[in-house]
Amino acid sequence: MRGRGLLAASVLAAILVTVATTTILLLVDPKQPKAEAIKTGGLAGGAVVALYALWLNDRRRRTEEARHELESDRLGLESEKVADERFARAVELLGNEADQVRVGAMHVLAGLAHTTPRYKQTVLSVLCAYLRRPFEHPSLGKKADDPDQAYFKEVPPEIPPEQDQEMTVRMTAQRLITDMLPWGSDPDETQYNLDLTGAKLVHFRLEGRRFGRLVARRTQFYGITAFREIVLSKPALFSGATFHGRVDFRDGKFNGGISFQDVTFERELNLTGTSVGTFLHVTPEPPAQQVGELEVLAGTGFRNDPTGWRLTGDGQAPAGLDDHVQQD
């Protein structure tokens, strides 16, 4: 009804403008042909109708944009709801008895982190929590001639199948954590954090990954631990950890500091090209097989005496270390 009223008003206005324009032209110049005056008046009236049409089109456009925006918001809310339901269901399935189901749930979480970036830190935290669960496997306690071989290539028959299946699930969690972290030219600059306190990790690899904090207190690292070219902006805390195999930190950048407090290195520790900033806390007993030197950046604070460690760089340990320095 309102639209019809506006249309009628615009038509009436056009008629009045046409009549008024024609009358004024004839009064100003009585000699001009009436046809020309009427034509000019008609053009003026037509302009009124055209202005109304333009206004109407603009109004329709704004209405359509508002409708699309509301529809987009509705779809966004529905998408978030679906994502929340998928996340909750996948987390629930991590407790399923079947190893295939647990592996599938982990891949669902990883896919969700890819399609919905707001979930990535949460998914990383969930996978880290899974790896912190108690875990035993006969191969991890086996003193082999080559500790870099963390578990059996062929599973002995005396090992319960569920233990080896759980190893597979945990290796999947480790790989997905690595795949989700930014690396190389990845534009993602979010400072993700990993908490692997007390976990048992096998052949853990974070080469070239960029993230924030790494907490690995009392963590057991089996096999080769590969952290080559890793970049951390926040502290890497390995307090009380044990590296049963070789450790490769080559060309790593630990800009937020490192804590090697009470860490045990049973095999080679490669620090070639590795640098540390902010703070450094080392074990009183240096590693027996240190390869390369750890570059200590200027301004780095020492938590204890690093005597015996092979260090280089502008950072210098103070002559007297303060006892009140906060420990890790």
* Same domain membership, residue 253 and residue 289: yes
Per-residue pLDDT of the chain (328 residues; tens, 9 = 90+): 555 555 556 655 656 655 555 565 545 556 566 565 565 656 655 666 667 677 777 777 777 777 777 666 555 556 677 768 989 999 999 999 999 999 999 999 999 999 988 999 999 999 999 999 999 888 786 655 566 776 655 556 666 777 788 999 999 999 999 999 999 888 888 999 999 999 999 999 999 999 999 999 999 999 999 999 999 999 999 999 999 999 999 999 999 999 999 999 999 999 999 999 999 999 999 999 999 999 999 999 999 999 999 999 987 665 555 443 444 5
* Same domain membership, residue 201 and residue 64: no
Rounded Cα distance, 83 and 5, in Å: 48
- Note whether residue 326 is domain-resident: no
* Same domain membership, residue 139 and residue 43: no
Q: Residue 272 phi/psi, 5° resolution?
A: -60, 120
* Same domain membership, residue 139 and residue 195: yes
- Note whether residue 139 is domain-resident: yes
- Domain total of the chain: 2
- Note whether residue 79 is domain-resident: no
Element (H, E) at 168: helix 161-180
- Note whether residue 106 is domain-resident: yes
* Same domain membership, residue 264 and residue 168: yes
- Note whether residue 323 is domain-resident: no
* Same domain membership, residue 21 and residue 110: no
* Same domain membership, residue 41 and residue 104: no
Rounded Cα distance, 46 and 189, in Å: 59
* Same domain membership, residue 187 and residue 42: no
Give the burial class of 269: count Cβ atoms within 10 A of its Cβ; 0-12 exposed, 13-18 middle, 19 or more buried: buried
User: What integer pLDDT is reported at residue 324 of this predicted model?
Assistant: 37
- Note whether residue 223 is domain-resident: yes
* Same domain membership, residue 46 and residue 116: no
* Same domain membership, residue 122 and residue 51: no
Which residue segment(s) compose the domain that 218 sits in?
94-312
CA 118 to chain CA centroid, nearest Å: 8
- Note whether residue 209 is domain-resident: yes
Beta-strand ranges (E) seen in the chain are: 194-195, 200-202, 210-211, 214-215, 220-222, 225-226, 231-232, 236-237, 242-243, 247-248, 253-254, 258-259, 264-265, 269-270, 275-276, 279-281, 290-291, 294-296, 301-302, 311-312
Beta-carbon count within 10 A of 178 CB: 16
User: What integer pLDDT is reported at residue 239 of this predicted model?
Assistant: 97
- Note whether residue 320 is domain-resident: no
Residues facing 195 on adjacent strands: 215
Cβ-count burial 39-48 (b if 16+ within 10 Å, e if not): ebbeebbeeb
**Nearest-CA neighbor of 142 among 133, 134, 153, 132?**
153
* Same domain membership, residue 123 and residue 55: no
User: What integer pLDDT is reported at residue 322 of this predicted model?
Assistant: 46
Question: Do 136 and 163 touch, CB atoms closer than 8 A?
Answer: yes
* Same domain membership, residue 222 and residue 192: yes
Of 73, 103, 127, which residue sits at a domain end? 73
